[in-house]
Structure 1
Amino acid sequence: MKKLWFVLVASLLLVTACSKSGGEGNEGGASGSPSASQSADSPDNKEPVTLKIVNKDMPPDDPNTIKLVKAIEEGMAKQGTPIKLEIVPVQAGTYSEKLGLLLQGGNIPDLIYFQGGDYNFAVNQKILEDLTPYIEKSTYLKASLSELNKERMKSYPYLVWAAPIRAQVPVVRQDWFDKTASGKALLENPTVDNYYNFFKELKQVSGAKYVYTVAGLLPEIDVMFNQAFGLTSTWVKGADGKYVFASTTQAEKDKLDFYAKLYKEGLLDPEFLTKKWDTKEKAFYDGEAAIIAGTQGKIIDIYNTKTVGQNGESAKIMVLPPAKGAAQGYLPVDVSKESRGMAIASTSENKDQAFAVLEYMASPEGQMLDKLGIQGEEYQITNGKIKLTDKFAAWFPHFVENLENFKPAQEFDPSTPYLSEPAVKSMEMFTGMSTKDNAFVMPAELAGKWDASLAVYNEFAANYVVGKVKSEDFAKFVESWNAAGGKEVADYANTVLK
C-alpha cells in the first residue's frame, strides 16, 4: 500500500486521455438539426434526464460547483447518457439535521449525499436503494473501491463512498515544531506526559493563543489520545468479562481529567464548544492554534497548501504520532458501515441514470474532472506533464477520492505533485498505526436509544472538560447513559460481539 502511494504521488501518475465513447457532439448542420445519417434516438438527440442531487459540498452558487456540474453534463452527453443535474439547496445549519428535515418533508432527490447520523429516517422509511446490484454490474466504480469500502458495504449497501477511510490525524506547523526542545523526545517516546510537556513548550515558542483546536466535540483530539488511555475500541470488556461502552469506563474518566487539565491551562481551545470546521481551520491558518486534526490524505494536503500559502514555505505541516500508553494508535476504524457517502433514492424514477453519474465520475474522464478540475483552469498540460495551477488549491473530489483506479496518461510535473509530502505521510502513518473497531450496525429498534445515549455522553464530556461538572458526577453520568437507552444497547452488544 505504501509503495502504491509513493508511486502515485512521486509524480509517476499517468493521466488518461479524455474518453471518446459516446457521441462527439453535433456533426449535423449549423442549425443543430439531425443529419440524414443520425437516428432520432442517437446520443446527440436524446432529451437529458433531470436528476436532483443534494450535497453539502456542492452549494448551487459556488463557482466550482457550477463548473463541475456543467462538465459532468457535457461529459455524460458525449458518452450517450445526457442528464441535467439540479442541485437541491439545504438550509444553513447542521447538515445532517437539515437534510433529515428535507427528506421528511417529502423532497427526496435522486442522488443524496449523507454525512454522519442522518440516515436513520431514510432507512426506516425505506427510501434508499440497495446499490449492490448496480456496483456488481459496474466497471469503473467497482474498480475504484478499496477492500475496506467493500467490507463496509456488505452490511450497509445503501451508501457508497470511494474514498480512503475518513480518519483524522493531528498536524503541527514544521517551523513551530522545530523551535521546541521537547519535540525530539516526543517523537522518540510519545507518551501522554511527553505530549503535555510538548504542548506547554509549543504554546510558548509559537506564540499561539492555545495549542489544540477542535470543532465542537472531542473526537478530533481523541485521535491523539484515546488508545493511550486504553480506549482501544467502542466496546471494551469490563471486570466481569462483559462488553461495556468504552466511554463509560474509568479509562474515559482519566482521559477527560487530562483534557480538563489542558483546558484549564489554556492548551485546549477555550472556544472548542462553539468552533465550526471553518473557524477551526482559520484559527490554525492564522496562528491562533498550533495543532489541528485533519482527514488523512487530501484534507491534510489542503491544510498544507493553505498554511504554506499564508505563512511561507517553512510553515509546511508535519504529522504527529498518536500518544503511547496502554496502547498506541489513531482512533480505531469502524468497518461496520459507511458513515457518509452517496445514495440513490428508491423513490427515484431514474435510478439507472442516477447510478450512471456515479459510474461516470469513477471513469478515467470523470476522475480527471473530479480530482483535478478543468484543464486550462485547475491544471495545464505543459511539456507533456500535468502542472497544477494556483486554482487547484480550491478544488477537491466530490465523488471518488481513492487512487485505486486513477491512472492518468501523463505524469505530474515534479513541482506540482497531486499530493504533498505531508499528505502522503499522513496516509502512511495512519496505515501503520490504525486498528479495526468492533462497532456494529445498530438495529433500527435501538437506533434512537443509541443516539440518545451518545447525546448524554457528548454533553457530559463537554461539560466535564470545561469544569461545569466534577469528578464525582461521573457515576451519575453512567446512570444517565444507561437510562437513556445505553443499557439496552450494551445488552445487545453482548449478543453480537465475540
Structure 2
Amino acid sequence: MTTSLVAAGCEPLEKEASAEQSRVSVSMVINDLGMIFPEGLDENDNPYIHYIEEETGLDLRVSIPPQEVYEEKLNVIMASRNLPDLIHSYNPVWYDEYVKKGAIVPLDDYIDQYGPDLKKYIPEEAWERMRYNGKIYAIPSLTEVPGIELMYVRKDWLDRLGLKPPTTLDDYYEVIKAFAKNDPDRNGLHDTMGLILTENMGRTAPFFGAFGVQLNSWLERDGKLVNGSTLEGTKEALGFLAKLYREGLVDPEFPLNRNSVFIEKIENGRVGMFSAAWYDTRGPIALNKKKDPNAEWIALEYPVGPEGHSGVYDSDLIRGFNVVPAGTSHPEEVIKLLNFIAGEGRKTLKLGFENEIWSMQDGKMVTNFAEHDKHLYRGIYQALVDVVDPEIAKARLDSLGDFHLYENLQMIEQNVIRNQFYGTPTPAMSKHAGHLEELQNVFTEIVMGIVPLDEFDAFVERWYREGGAEITEEVNKWYEGRLQEGGIAAP
C-alpha cells in the first residue's frame, strides 16, 4: 500500500520530468540592450522566458556577454568548439565577415518550412539584405521607427509675440530671432535662446534637410551616390547656422551641450525651439511643462529651404542579425523560436502580459507604468526579431499618455531623406571612416565663426584626397550592382 501511494503521488512529477527531458535545448548568445532584471530574476529565469518556452516547447539557454566586450566575445565564441545554436549581432561587418568565412548556415529551407510568420512580416527589402550569393544567412530584426528628429516650438511664446508657426526657412529665422531678442517669457531678462543644438552638430538635421542634404548620408546625384557631408547644400546649411550663431540667436554653448545639459536648458524654460527626438515629448518637453504649466509645445512642419527642399535623416531598416553558426544541431528549432517571436508571441513580448502590464478600458489600452518599467527586460527577447506592426505600435504609444508619440513618428516617416547606401561598410570605410569623421569637426568651427565658411571647400578637397574618393568608388560599385540586380529602383 505504501508503495502504491508513493507511486501514485509521484506519477505527475514523473510526467512533468519526462516532458522537460523531451524539450529540445536551444542555446543563444544575445544582447541585453542595457536592460536590468528585477531582483530575483535573470535572463534564464523570468516570466517572459518561461512564456516563450511553454509556447514553443523549447528549453532555452540564454547567455548575455557584457555590453562593453560584446563583439569581442562573439568572435571568441565563433573561434571555439562550443558554439551556441543562435547568435544575435548588431554589426553588419561582423555578419558579412562570418558569412564570407562559411561559418554561418544558410537558412532558406528552414524559413520555408518553419518560418511562415517570418516570411509574412519581414519585407523582401530586408530579406534581400540578408542574402549572399543568393542565399539567406540571417533572420533580420527591423528598426521600428522611420527616423528620429522633428521640430518642436513653444506655442505660448509664438502667441505672446504674435507669431505664426513657421514653415519656410525664412520664417524659422524670424521666429528664432524673436525668441532670442524679444523676451518671450516676459521676465525682463535676456535669458532665452531661439534655438538649441548639441555637441558635434547634433539636433541640426532639419536645417540640413532644408537644403536637400543630410550629414553622412549617401544621396543620389546624376545617377551616382555622393556623401551628403560634401555637397554644396551642406555648405549652405552651415552658412545659415553660422548666421544664427553670429547674431546671437542660437545657444552659444552648443558645442558643450551633452544630453543632460541639453535637457536641463529645455526643462528650465530657456529654449523656444529645437529639433526634438520623437520621444522628447515624454522627456525634456514634459519636464518643462511640469515646471511651467503654461508652457505649450507643438510640432512644426520641417523648414522648407529656398529651393523647396525639406526633410530629415532616416533610420536604417535593419537593426540586428540572427545567425546560426555552422556545425550546430538545431537550426529548425531556432527558426521556430524566431518565428514565434515575430508572430504569435509578438503582442505579448512587445506589450507585456495583458491585465498585468496593460489592460483594455473603454476600448483603449491603458498601461500600468510601474509594471511596464519593471518588465522592460522582455525587450531583449522581443528585439531579436522586431517587425513593423502599426496597430500594436499605435496602441502601445498611445497608452503611454498624451505625448503625440505615434503622430510624431508619422510626421517623420513622411519627411525622411533616404540614405541610398545600406550595404555592409566597405573596406575603405573601415580604413578611413574615423579620420574623415575627425575632419568633419570643422563644421562646428564654421558655425562658430572660428574659420570662414569657405573652409568647407578645403574640407571637401581633403575628404576626397584622404580616403573619401576611395570610399565613394566602392559605394558606387555597390550601387551599380544593386541597380543591375533590380534591388534599387533606377533614379
TM-score computed with the length of structure 1 as normaliser = 0.70
Distance in 1, Cα, partners of 2:9 & 2:391: 39
Q: Does 1:465 align with 2:438?
A: no
Q: Tell me, what secondary structure is at the counterpart of 2:150?
A: strand
For 1:271 and 1:456, how far apart are their aligned partners in 2? 20
Aligned length: 443
Match for residue 476 of structure 1 among 454, 458, 470: 458
Q: Per-residue deviation at 1:75? A: 0.7
Q: Given residue 424 of structure 1, which amino acid in structure 2 is its aligned partner?
A: Y
Provide the C-alpha distance between the structure 1 equivalents of 2:359 and 2:439, rounded to a whole number of angstroms: 50
1:199 aligns with 2:179: no
User: What's the CA shift string for 1:133-162, capped at 9, x where partnerless?
Assistant: 655542334433356655655689646233
The answer to whether 1:387 aligns with 2:366 is yes
Alpha-carbon distance change, 273 to 405 in structure 1, aligned in 2, over 3 angstroms: same
Which stretch of structure 1 is more off in the superposition, 342-351 or 242-251? 342-351
Partner of 1:330: 311
How many Å apart are 1:256 and its aligned residue? 1.3
Verify the 8 A CA contact 1:69 1:85 in the aligned structure 2: no
Corresponding position of 1:145: 122
Amino acid at match of 1:448: S
Question: Cα distance, 1:287 vs. partner?
Answer: 4.1
- Distance in 2 (alpha carbons) for counterparts of 1:85 and 1:324: 49
Structure 2 residue aligned with 1:52: 29
* Equivalent residue number for residue 203 of structure 2: 220
- Note if contact 2:31-2:65 (Cα within 8 Å) is conserved in structure 1: yes
User: Once superposed, what is the RMSD of the aligned Cα atoms?
Assistant: 4.5
Work out the CA distance in 2 between the residues paired with 1:453 and 1:182.
Answer: 47
2:13 to 33, 42, 46: 33
- CA displacement 1:453-483 (0-9 Å, x = unmatched): 6414532323333444432422321222112
Deviates more, 1:133-142 or 1:152-161: 152-161
**Runs of 5+ in structure 2 lacking a partner?**
1-7, 481-489
| CA displacement at 1:323 relative to structure 2 | 1.3
1:73 aligns with 49
Structure-to-structure mapping, 1:163-174, within 5 angstroms: 163-172=143-152
Give TM-score, length-normalised by structure 2.
0.71
| Range with bigger deviation, 474-483 or 273-282 | 273-282
CA distance in 1, matches of 2:270, 2:413: 30
CA distance in 2, matches of 1:467, 1:348: 59
SS of the counterpart of 2:48? helix
For 1:331, the aligned partner's letter is: V
Structure 2 residue 213 is matched with structure 1 residue 231: yes
1:86 aligns to what? 63
Aligned match of 2:96 in 104, 115, 123?
A: 123
- SS of 1:82's partner is strand
Unaligned runs of 5+ in 1: 1-27, 92-97
Match of 1:262 among 229, 244, 247: 244
Letter in 1 for 2:142: A
Counterparts of 2:40 and 2:125 in 1: how far apart (Å)? 30
Once the two structures are superposed, what CA deviation does each residue of 1:384-426 show, in whole Å capped at 9, x if it has no partner? 8642123367476552362257499xx99xx964675622322
**Identical pairs, percent:** 18
Correspondence 1:403 to 2:385? no
Measure how far apart 1:324 and its partner are. 0.7
Aligned-partner Cα distance in 2 for 1:488–1:213? 36
Distance 1:30 1:177 in 2: 74
Q: What is the aligned counterpart of 1:343 among 314, 319, 322?
A: 322
Deviates more, 1:361-370 or 1:284-293: 284-293
